[in-house]
A and B are shown apart, each in its own frame.
Chain A
Amino acid sequence: MNSDRRTGHSLKPELWDQFFKGSRLACARLITLVENFPELVPEIRDKLFSHRRSAIRIGVTGPPGVGKSTVTAALARRALKKGHSVGVIAVDPSSPFTGGAFLGDRVRMQSLIGDPHIFIRSLASRDGHGGLSPSTPYAADIFDAFGMDRIYIETVGVGQAELDVLTCADLVILVLQPGTGDVIQALKAGIIEAADMFLINKSDLPGTESLLDSLRFIFEISARQKTIPRPPILAASALHNKGLDEASAEMERLIHGLIQSGRFQKKKRLRLEGEIKASILQNLWEQFSTLTNAPEEIQAAADDLLKSGQSPYPFIRKISSRIKMETVNEKTCCENRR
Chain B
Amino acid sequence: MSVEPMKVIIAKPGLDGHDRGAKVVARALVEAGMEVVYLGLRQTPESIVNAALEEDADVIGLSILSGAHMTHFRRVKELMDKNGLGDRLLTGGGIIPTKDQEKLKELGIEKVFGPGDDIQAIVDYIRTWHRSRST
Q: Do A and B bind each other?
A: yes
Number of contacts between A and B (CB, 8 Å)?
A: 85
Given contacts A36-B4, A104-B38, contact A28 B54 (CB under 8 A): yes
Partner of B5 from the list A99, A106, A107 (CB cut-off 8 Å) is A99
Inter-chain contact B56/A32, CB cutoff 8 Å: yes
Partner of A98 from the list B32, B50, B55 (CB cut-off 8 Å) is B32
Q: With CB as the reference atom, state the residue of chain B lying closest to A102.
A: B30
CB neighbours (8 Å) of A110 from chain B are 40, 42, 47
Inter-chain contact A28/B55, CB cutoff 8 Å: yes
Inter-chain contact B33/A100, CB cutoff 8 Å: yes
| Stretch in A114-122, A263-271, A300-308 touching the partner | A114-122
CB neighbours (8 Å) of A173 from chain B are none
Using a CB-CB cutoff of 8 Å, which residues 32-58 of chain B contact chain A?
32-40, 42, 46-47, 50-51, 53-56
Number of interface residues of A (CB under 8 A): 29
Q: With CB as the reference atom, state the residue of chain A lying closest to B2.
A: A1
Inter-chain contact B56/A29, CB cutoff 8 Å: yes
B74 in the interface (beta carbon within 8 A): no
CB neighbours (8 Å) of B32 from chain A are 98, 100
Q: Contact flags (1/0) for A29-44 with B, using CB distance below 8 Å?
A: 1011000100000000
Inter-chain contact B1/A99, CB cutoff 8 Å: yes
Partner of B30 from the list A31, A101, A114 (CB cut-off 8 Å) is A101
A2 in the interface (beta carbon within 8 A): yes
Given contacts A25-B84, A29-B56, A107-B40, contact A101 B47 (CB under 8 A): no
Cα separation A94 to B84 with both chains bound (whole Å): 28
In the assembled complex, the CB of B135 is this many whole angstroms from the nearest CB of chain A, namely 8
Inter-chain contact B31/A120, CB cutoff 8 Å: no
Q: With CB as the reference atom, state the residue of chain A lying closest to B41.
A: A107
B128 in the interface (beta carbon within 8 A): no
Task: A106-B37, A120-B54 are known; give 14 further A-B pairs, CB within 8 A.
Answer: A24-B54, A25-B53, A31-B56, A32-B56, A36-B3, A99-B5, A100-B35, A101-B5, A101-B35, A101-B36, A103-B36, A113-B50, A122-B35, A122-B37
Closest 10 CB pairs of A and B: A100-B30, A28-B56, A107-B40, A1-B134, A32-B56, A99-B33, A36-B4, A103-B37, A98-B33, A101-B35
Q: Which residues of A contact B (CB under 8 A)?
A: 1-2, 4, 24-25, 28-29, 31-32, 36, 94-95, 98-104, 106-107, 110, 113-114, 119-122, 124
